[in-house]
Structure 1
Amino acid sequence: MRYALILALACANVGTAAFAQHEGHSDHSEPKHAQPVDREQVDHSEMDHGHQHSQNAAEPKMLARPPDSADSGPPRAADAIWGADTMQDSRAALAREHGGMQLLWVQGDRLELRTREGRDGFLWDLQGWYGGDIDKIWVKSEGEGEWGRPLEQAKVQALWSHAIGPWFDFQAGVRQDLNSPARTHAVIGVQGLAPYLFELDAAAFVSNKGDVTARIEAELDQRITQRLILQPRTELALSAQDIPELGVGAGIDHIETGLRLRYEFVPEFAPYVGIEQEWKVGRGADFSRADGRDVSVTRVVLGLRFWF
């Protein structure tokens, strides 16, 4: 009985100590009689300091400017190590690989069959160049006709092209007409990308007979999808004088406008379908009527556009 009483008193003392320790911990962390905090009087200096510290930590460190001695060495320092001849070849190769390379490019812009009221025909419009970014040699050829009849027109141009800005090239050279009557022309013009992504080709021609003519072509690619492209195209032909033997009238001789819808299986290969309208105007229309030709022609076209 005595031992049971002693054990009971010991357990009571342990429980009392544990309760007192727990009460002391609670009083230390959250006093019972703590006063309410006025949030407007809280000192935010430590909070601001922490915020500024986090901002400063996120800011990138400013790099020190290179020392003045960085640009004090000789401009051809590598020559002393590898030799001037070796470095000259290296610099020439670097220039070629960064804009000085000579490249070849060929494009069939229009290679098409044309039909109108049972009178089927054809047209080709090919061009290509060889050279670098600044100077190139251009070759252009185009012509058209009807099956079973002599060519209406066929011509080839050889031009020197020089870049006059990031978007346009100045071109000059010679044009030879292959259809009858054959004539030779001096050519001067510009070709490039006009504002709003219009491909523009404008040229003036002076023939060996003294005739002065000009032509302006413009086309615009409108992407419907990444592969399906609608291309409006307009061509305007002008002449400074009547040329009866060629059926060309002074002023605006004829206007062509059309739409071509092409599908690019790959960018280098794209068949297309389209419709084109041509009008002979002014004196050119008079010459066409006198020759028994229509002054307004609508054609359905089926063709291929390619480049390599």
Structure 2
Amino acid sequence: MDQNLKGWYTERSPMWPGQAFSLKVDCKLLHKRSKFQNIEIFESTNHGKVLVLDGAIQFTERDEASYQEMITFLPLNAHPNPRKVLVVGGGDGGVVRELARHPAVEEVVQCEIDEEVIEACKTHVPSMGCGFSNPKLTLHTGDGAKFLEETQEKFDIIITDASDPVVPDEGDEGTKDGPAVSLFNEDYYVKMKGKLAEGGILCCQGENMWLHADLIMKLMNGCREVFPVVDYAYTYTPTYPGGQIGFILCSVNPATNFKEPLRVWDHNKANEMGLKYYNAEIHRASFVLPTFMRNHLTLTN
């Protein structure tokens, strides 16, 4: 907790220099060091429970649906029959929680590197950790890139819900590779393609266009050499740096149109499913990029 602002948690990082974000804290629930990272959970005054990994906010209960639902339903509703899904990362349980809501999904496999994050969310944030009770789920703990190398299974959808590739170094004056660094390179996308079934789709956490445009462009250009269809979408998450985070979507099916959902749920169905953010209109709008980012990615209408 920032001692210069007593009673508040302040997120400051060399990953987004010159800016900071603060939340008022009611009480600390957990602060520990796992084999891979620092884990903090606290109850905030206005945003519910908050998970912080290596100094970066991963979710708040108030706005997590804007991320969890979009990273899940953008790829699933672009696939005609997404029966089998692999989740790499997602240790908070949010993605597997959303997968349980989707009527087409029959089997979910997850590989998360840090089992202590899983246990922390199951214990302290049941609104997220409830995802691990999904009866369709088979859970593995270990490195996601290595899991992809070793598994013989094929998947209709692969979702990579990763934390940032770099984390603050000692003293918060620089950065170092984090546990998810292996999930942000072109080789990883090639590995994923090899594990997609016919017509398969992948969706990966795609960083922030205001802060990481060069990294996004590098990954997108690499994906275009591997996949016939590549696109970029984004969502608004107020408690993430810049208030926004994106998704890189790739398909091995040349006919895939990510911008047009194959399933459209009406308002009653969305409420019945417990959705808070995702709908067909948001799906379509998430691919409409601001001019600077469209130019950066050399995308056209």
TM class by shorter chain equals under 0.3
* TM-score (structure 1 length as normaliser): 0.26
Bigger RCO of structures 1 and 2 (CA < 8 A, at least 6 apart): 2
